[in-house]
Copies of this chain bind each other. A is one copy, B any other.
Amino acid sequence: MPNETNPAAAKKSRRSSGAMTLQDVAKLAGVAPITASRAINTPASVSAEVLHKVLAAVEKTGYVPNRMAGSLASSRSRMIAAVVPSTVMSVFVETVETLNNTLFDAGYQLMLGQSSYSVEREEALLEAVIGRRPDGIFLAGILQPGRARTRLMASGIPVVESWDLTQTPIDMLIGFSHLAIGRAAAKHLLDKGRKRFALVLAGDERAARRASSFTEAVAAAGLEDVFTVNVGDSRTLKSGRNAFIKILTQIPKTDAIFCSSDLLAMGVVTEAKARGINVPKDLSVMGFGDVPFGADIEPALSTVRINGGDIGRMAARYLIDRAEGKTVEKPIVDIGFSIIERAST
């Protein structure tokens, strides 16, 4: 070993990353590396004197433990991965934020992947994620059968799927029933005495399921067919405005519209107001997702609220418990939803 004799100028081996290591700290503190490790990670398991010496050495060297090495040695990465379709104007952000904060408070980091609503991207993302050996994976949605799902199950990594219900989850599940939401939304609007219904939705399979049960409930009430407008993107207000123009052209008598997002609903309301149509007198509009400012616009927006914060918190809790071997349960939770009645209906 070169330069052993001159600590001050001790050059690291060619392969070293150059940063301070536990070795350096241990040497400075005059203890074995494992003892330094214990002083840092489980201070209770070490004598006061050793603790003091090691912490002093840490301070002096500016040592920051290399968690990658620790993870490799212990097979515990203290990382959780989350895969979401998007974070911009998305209904998942509250969940991701809460998940992340809860994880951090428990000493975990979040790896975030965005599938951009693409199945291929999602598959590639999951492959990459599995390679990082996270202690858990959160999925915004349910993973369809395929290569990624197989790999994921084979990996043995704890998984929380969310935002939907299924009989065959990969592992854990925190969701709610889109069919029940469609029915509840229809009931809400029927109770208001509305007669002619329309739907505005983007090409999202879950929104389509809400729409189908909505349509059924309206038919069951003996009313005319629900007119449905498909828009490209549920995260823009513009699509909602355009959709309303289409509805007005085709079925002018429409008096209730259920949208697959709050932004779409805001678009409908905006366009209606611009045309002198009174919401909610002439038209009831309902959104989905409960954006933070939905209560403060004029008229305040009726919507379906999903408690995204609860999903994030619960998912974090389940994944951490699993990672720490506290449970082997496979919870399947229906967290439900609430119909939020505000001025727009």
Flag whether A292 is at the interface (Cβ < 8 A): yes
Contact B109 A110 (CB under 8 A): no
**Assembled-state Cα–Cα distance A219/B325 (Å):** 64
Provide the A156-189 mask, 1 if CB < 8 A to any CB of B, else 0.
Answer: 1000000000000000000000000000000000
**Assembled-state Cα–Cα distance A94/B235 (Å):** 13
Contact B67 A132 (CB under 8 A): yes
Q: How far is the CB of A124 from chain B (nearest CB, A)?
A: 8
Flag whether A254 is at the interface (Cβ < 8 A): no
Flag whether A263 is at the interface (Cβ < 8 A): yes
Q: How far is the CB of A93 from chain B (nearest CB, A)?
A: 5
A67 cross-chain contacts in B, Cβ below 8 A: 131-133
Shortest Cβ distance from A240 into B: residue = B296
Contact B114 A111 (CB under 8 A): no
Contact A69 B66 (CB under 8 A): no
Shortest Cβ distance from A16 into B: residue = B75
Contact A101 B116 (CB under 8 A): yes
**Assembled-state Cα–Cα distance A201/B161 (Å):** 39
Known: A68-B133, A87-B93, A273-B298. A113 touches B113 (CB 8 A): no
- This protein's copies in its complex: 2
Known: A68-B68, A77-B68, A131-B65. A89 touches B292 (CB 8 A): yes
- The A201-246 residues at the B interface (CB cut-off 8 A) are 235-238, 241
Q: How far is the CB of A159 from chain B (nearest CB, A)?
A: 15
Q: How far is the CB of A68 from chain B (nearest CB, A)?
A: 5
Shortest Cβ distance from A94 into B: residue = B88
Q: How far is the CB of A107 from chain B (nearest CB, A)?
A: 8
- The A1-43 residues at the B interface (CB cut-off 8 A) are 15-19
- The A105-140 residues at the B interface (CB cut-off 8 A) are 107, 109-114, 116, 121, 125, 127-133
Flag whether A86 is at the interface (Cβ < 8 A): yes
A150 cross-chain contacts in B, Cβ below 8 A: 62
Flag whether A155 is at the interface (Cβ < 8 A): yes
A96 cross-chain contacts in B, Cβ below 8 A: 87
A303 cross-chain contacts in B, Cβ below 8 A: none
- Some 25 contacts from A to B, beta carbons below 8 A apart, are A19-B133, A19-B155, A62-B150, A62-B151, A64-B127, A66-B131, A68-B68, A69-B72, A86-B97, A87-B93, A89-B93, A100-B113, A101-B116, A109-B128, A109-B129, A111-B111, A111-B112, A236-B293, A236-B296, A237-B292, A241-B296, A266-B297, A267-B296, A273-B298, A274-B298
Closest 5 CB pairs of A and B: A237-B293, A237-B296, A17-B75, A67-B131, A112-B112
